[in-house]
Amino acid sequence: QGGGSAVIDMENMDDTSGSSFEDMGEMHQRMKEEEEEEVEGDTGAAEDEDGEFLGMKGLRGQLGRQVADQMWQVGKRQASRAFSLYANIDILRPYFDVEPIQVRARLLESMIPVKMINFPQKIAGELYGPLMLVFTLVAILLHGMKTSDTIIREGTLMGTAIGTCFGYWLGVSSFIYFLAYLCNAQITMVQMLSLLGYGLFGHCITLFVTYNIHFHSLFYIFWLSVGGLSTLRMVAVLVSRTVGHTQRLILCGTLAALHMLFLLYLHFAYHKVVEGILDTLEGPNMPPFQRVARDIPVVSSAVLNTTAKAIALTL
Amino acid sequence: LVELGINFDHIWQKTLTVLHPLKVADGSIMNETDLAGPMVFCLAFGATLLLAGKIQFGYVYGISAIGCLGMFCLLNLMSMTGVSFGCVASVLGYCLLPMILLSTFAIVFSLQGMMGIILTAGIIGWCSFSASKIFISALAMEGQQLLVAYPCALLYGVFALISVF
């Protein structure tokens, strides 16, 4: 069909075009025609009932099938139209157009705070890296929960891990975006999601190491150094994009507090059971299981001999 | 069986492609969506887990479904041409085959020692490498194999978690 034509050429209109209202009208028309055919078929069948032709039943079955087919076609067309309108994920397509080298570079940069805060720093508006990092955090949490035999009473392990990680990423991003709006910071929602997502790289490293090597002091060192570095990086970016001391303080203080506390929460909430198990296993020193030879006492052999003699005598 | 669309020769070809990680994949083998092979592999995975004492068919099917949906969305966003859900499900199902080897091993030996960790990591790498190799060749996404392999590795990692624990 012509793109800019105001005149609709009815000859070229096929079944896939037109509104559903027209389809219904077309179907209604077709049904009327078929009813008329059926009426004629009825009168015909009444005349020759013994005929081999199916007659009334055949026509009614055919009509039923055609109506059902029409309904299905109309329904399918409407559903696919609605789907293509609302579930258009192509809006997100530009945010996933990345190269592996870019992702690696951004991961490494997320741990390096930049000192230049007088000029707005560039944030990559990309969602592949942050999404993968959130899923990695989910996997690390699951692994930690499984190794420490954490029991979740109301819910599943997978649901808890996904809920925690995605809830943090989306919830805190939205909250900080809202604060940034109040504090007049120059940052978009996608940039905030990207920034916070890459900030979870530090969390992933810390938890991966400390879920496997259980030393509290090691965790605190990682918390301060690795967690602190990624927080400083995010804070520096936000400071470079905000004007005014109070606004900078509010925004960056909130983000730093939430980010550091989240790491603390993840460490303590999901593996503290391990400490209890370790204590019980290394409790009192137990000697290795020893096999003791069983000494058959002399008395029993005498009893055995007399018993044997008694049996021999009776036989 | 041919009328049902179950073509044993194609199933065998695809299985060989998965089992030889260094063999170059032919882009056209994924043109016909074949879900018979993946269903058999999922059942076999559940059966080997059952032999190890873990009755987790529900988890296997649930994670497969959600994982396929996630990969379908991601690949549609990342590739120039779109991809059908059947194709994604088929590829991910075929590449589950090495994971069946892992769960078979888990029947006899415990995977929670150092050797278990190394073996698990190797099998996850093998599965995700094969899956990403087939996706790359079918969708013509050169240079992004690592980007496709990583989400596959996360998905197969969850399956491995079920096998190990």
- pLDDT of A48: 47
Which pLDDT value is given to residue A219?
A: 92
Average pLDDT score, chain A: 79
Q: Do A146 and B154 touch (CB under 8 A)?
A: no
The domain total for chain B is 1
Residue B40 lies in a domain: yes
State ipTM: 0.89
Q: What pLDDT is recorded for position B83?
A: 86
In this prediction the pTM is: 0.72
Q: Which domain holds residue B108?
A: 32-164
pLDDT at A286 over 60: no
pLDDT band at A194 (very low <50, low <70, confident <90, very high): very high
Give the residue-averaged pLDDT of A128-156. Answer: 85
Residue pair B45/B162 in contact (Cβ under 8 Å)? The answer is no
CB-CB contact of A196 with A110 (8 Å): no
pLDDT at A101 over 90: yes
Distances from the Cα of B37 to the Cα of A204, B13, B69, B98, B160, angstroms: 36, 11, 18, 14, 20
The arithmetic mean of pLDDT across residues A204-216, rounded, is 89
Do residue B143 and residue A97 have CB atoms under 8 angstroms apart? no
Q: What is the pLDDT of residue B24?
A: 75
Residues above pLDDT 70, as percent of chain A: 69
- Specify whether the CB–CB gap between A263 and A223 falls below 8 A: yes
Contacts of B117 in chain A (CB under 8 A): none
Q: Looking at A149-163, A265-279, B145-159, which range is the least confident one?
A: A265-279
CB-CB under 8 Å, A99 with B151: no
Cα A212 from chain centre: 24
The total number of residues shown for chain A amounts to 315
Nearest to A231 by CA among A106, A112, A103: A112
pLDDT of residue A159: 85
Name A96's Cβ contacts closer than 8 Å, sequence gap at least 6. A126, A127, A128, B74, B77, B78
CA distance A185 to chain B (A): 30
Query: Looking at chain A, which residue has its C-alpha nearest residue B162?
Result: A146
Contact A89/B165, CB-based, under 8 Å? no
Chain A residues whose beta carbon lies within 8 Å of the beta carbon of residue B82: none
Q: Which has the minimum average pLDDT: A64-78, A207-221, B14-28? A: B14-28
Burial of residue A74, with CB atoms counted within 10 A of its CB: 0-12 exposed, 13-18 middle, 19 or more buried: middle
> B65 touching A, CB under 8 A?
no
The answer on pLDDT for A52 being more than 80 is no
Phi-psi region of A215 (alpha: psi -120 to 50; beta: other; left: phi over 0): beta
> Cα(A296)–Cα(A290) distance, rounded to whole angstroms?
19
Tell which wins on pLDDT, A251 or A212: A251
Contacts of B161 in chain A (CB under 8 A): 142-143, 146
What is the pLDDT, as a whole number, of residue B155?
94
- Tell me, yes or no, if B147 comes closer than 8 A to chain A by beta carbon: yes
Q: Could you tell me if A167 and A266 are in contact, meaning their C-beta atoms sit under 8 angstroms apart? A: no
d(CA A282, CA B125): 35
Q: Which token pair is A194?
A: 């990207």
| Chain B: residue whose CA lies nearest to A136 | B154
**Residue B16 within a domain:** no
Task: Give residue A45's pLDDT band: very low, low, confident or very high (50, 70, 90).
Answer: very low
Report the sign of the C-alpha dihedral through residues A270, A130, A262, A154, in that order. negative
Mutation site for A-interface testing, chosen from B63, B66, B74, B77 by largest number of A Cβ within 10 Å: B77
CB contact under 8 A, B147 and A142: no
- Pick the closest to residue B98 from B126, B77, B118, B119 (CA basis): B126
Residue of B63, B73, B151 with shortest CB distance to A132: B151
As a whole number of angstroms, the distance between CA A267 and CA A88 comes to 38
Task: Say which range, A24-28, A198-202, B104-108, has the weakest mean pLDDT.
Answer: A24-28
Among the partner residues B63, B157, B165, nearest to A139 by beta-carbon distance: B157
Contact A89 B77 (CB under 8 A): yes
Comparing A29-43, A162-176, B124-138, which segment has the lowest mean pLDDT? Answer: A29-43
Of chain A, the percentage scoring pLDDT greater than 90 comes to 41
Is there a domain that residue B137 lies in?
Answer: yes
The count of residues in chain B is: 165
pLDDT string in tens for chain B (165-residue length): 667 666 777 778 888 888 887 777 776 666 667 788 888 899 999 999 999 888 888 888 888 899 999 999 999 888 888 888 888 999 999 999 999 999 999 988 888 888 999 999 999 999 999 999 888 888 888 888 999 999 999 999 999 988 888
Residue A156's pLDDT band, with cuts at 50, 70 and 90, is confident
pLDDT value of position B11: 78
More confident residue, A246 or A37: A246
A139/B150 touch (CB, cutoff 8 Å), yes or no: no
| Structure-model confidence comparison of residues B130 and A32, the more confident one | B130
Task: Compute the average pLDDT of residues A67-92.
Answer: 81
Q: What is the pLDDT of residue A51?
A: 46
SS3 at position B111: coil
Q: Distance (Å, rounded) from C-alpha B94 to C-alpha B45? A: 12
Which of A249 and A299 is assigned the larger pLDDT? A249
User: Does a structural domain hold residue B107?
Assistant: yes
The answer to whether position B19 is within a domain reads no
CA distance A277 to A17: 68
Which pLDDT score, from 0 to 100, does residue B111 have? 82
Query: Could you tell me which of B119, B59, B68, B66 has the C-alpha nearest to residue B90?
Result: B68
pLDDT tens for each residue of A177-193: 999 999 999 999 999 99
B63 part of a folded domain: yes
Quick check: A243 pLDDT over 60? yes
Contacts of A103 in chain B (CB under 8 A): 147
CA–CA min distance B4, chain A (Å): 24
Residue A115 has pLDDT above 90, yes or no: no
- Say if B16 is an interface residue toward chain A (CB within 8 Å): no
Mean pLDDT score, A247-267: 95
Q: What is the pLDDT of residue A166?
A: 95
In angstroms, the separation between the Cα of residue A147 and the nearest Cα of chain B is: 8
CA-nearest of B1, B4, B18 to B126 is: B18
Looking at the partner chain, which of B76, B143, B144 has a beta carbon nearest the beta carbon of A89? B76
Phi, psi at residue A187, to the nearest 5°? Answer: -150, 140
Residue A250 binned pLDDT confidence (cut-offs 50, 70, 90): very high
In the numeric block, which tokens belong to residue A199?
């900030």
| Contact residues, chain A, for B155 at CB < 8 Å | none
Q: Which amino acid is at A164?
A: T
pLDDT at A113 over 60: yes
Is B24 inside any structural domain? Answer: no
Contact B165 A92 (CB under 8 A): no
The answer to whether the beta carbons of residues A228 and A162 sit under 8 Å apart is no
Report yes or no on B110 lying in a domain.
yes
Secondary structure string (H, E, C) spanning B10-59: HHHHHHHHHHCCCCCCCHHHHCCCCCHHHHHHHHHHHHHHHHCCCCCHHH
Q: Which of residues 82-141 of B touch A (CB under 8 A)?
A: none
Question: Can you give the pLDDT at residue A1?
Answer: 46
